[in-house]
């Protein structure tokens, strides 16, 4: 039974930071277009928690926690494989695009974001989920074995997933 999820409301990050407010919610994978393109199907939901704060340097910021489970595509057999996602990041907000461009490269873990009174939180949650996606998801007990040529090559490099998939289709056909 599909439950309609409300669109995530845009939020005022300046107020969120100043008041230390927290926005919590869920984003269905199927509603996250860019993420949905990278997974085997749109099953699953991302839970998030966006916590406003003033950081130790006095800047308006927020911490974002995202977690959930998606159906990624196995790099070896092409089938769906359940992957847990968990990502935490801290941001600080800047006033305008120009300021964002002038910021020196910073080694601190906090990332600058363009602040807004109508901030697109859903897009940020999606960005973080995409970052958390494994580069090469695989079944722990994948049935496509190394012996049939889909595993690592003798030169130590792994075949590209689409090659493995093409090889698989050829054998079946
Ligand atoms: Zn597999």
Q: Is the separation of the CB atoms in 150 and 164 below 8 Å?
A: yes
- The structure tokens 């889909």 sit at 150
156 and 135 share a domain? no
CA distance 16 to 57: 17
- Ligand 1 center–CA 68 separation, angstroms: 20
**In a shared domain, residues 100 and 162:** no
Q: For residue 87, what are its two tokens?
A: 């990502």
Domain coverage including residue 119: 13-141
| pLDDT tens per residue, range 21-48 | 999 999 999 999 999 999 998 889 999 9
Q: What is the pLDDT of residue 82?
A: 93
Is 121 in the same domain as 155?
Answer: no
Tell me, in angstroms, the distance from the centre of ligand 1 to residue 45's CA.
22
Q: What percent of the chain has pLDDT over 70?
A: 79
Q: Please give the tally of structural domains in the chain.
A: 2
Q: Determine the distance separating the centroid of ligand 1 and the alpha carbon of 44, expressed in angstroms.
A: 19
Neighbours of ion ligand 1 (CB under 5 A): 74, 76-77, 139, 142
Distance 83 CA to ligand 1 centre (A): 12
Ligand 1 centroid from CA 141, angstroms = 7
For residue 30, the CA-to-ligand 1 centroid distance in Å is 22
């Amino acid at each position: 039974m599909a439950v309609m999820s409300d669109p995530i409301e845009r939020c005022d990050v300046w107020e969120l930071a100043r008041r230390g407010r927290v926005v919590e919610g869920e984003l269905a994978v199927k509603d996250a277009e860019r993420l949905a393109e990278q997974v085997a199907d749109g099953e699953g939901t991302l839970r998030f928690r966006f916590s406003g704060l003033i950081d130790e340097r006095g800047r308006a910021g927020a911490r974002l926690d995202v977690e959930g489970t998606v159906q990624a595509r196995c790099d070896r057999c092409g089938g769906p494989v359940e992957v847990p996602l968990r990502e935490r990041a801290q941001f600080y907000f800047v006033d305008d695009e120009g300021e964002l461009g002038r910021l020196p490269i910073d080694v601190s873990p906090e990332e600058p974001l363009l602040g807004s009174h109508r901030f697109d939180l859903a897009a940020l949650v999606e960005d973080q989920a995409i970052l958390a996606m494994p580069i090469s998801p695989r079944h722990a007990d994948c049935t496509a074995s190394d012996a049939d040529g889909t595993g690592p090559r003798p030169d130590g490099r792994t075949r590209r997933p689409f090659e493995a998939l093409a090889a698989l289709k050829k054998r079946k056909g």
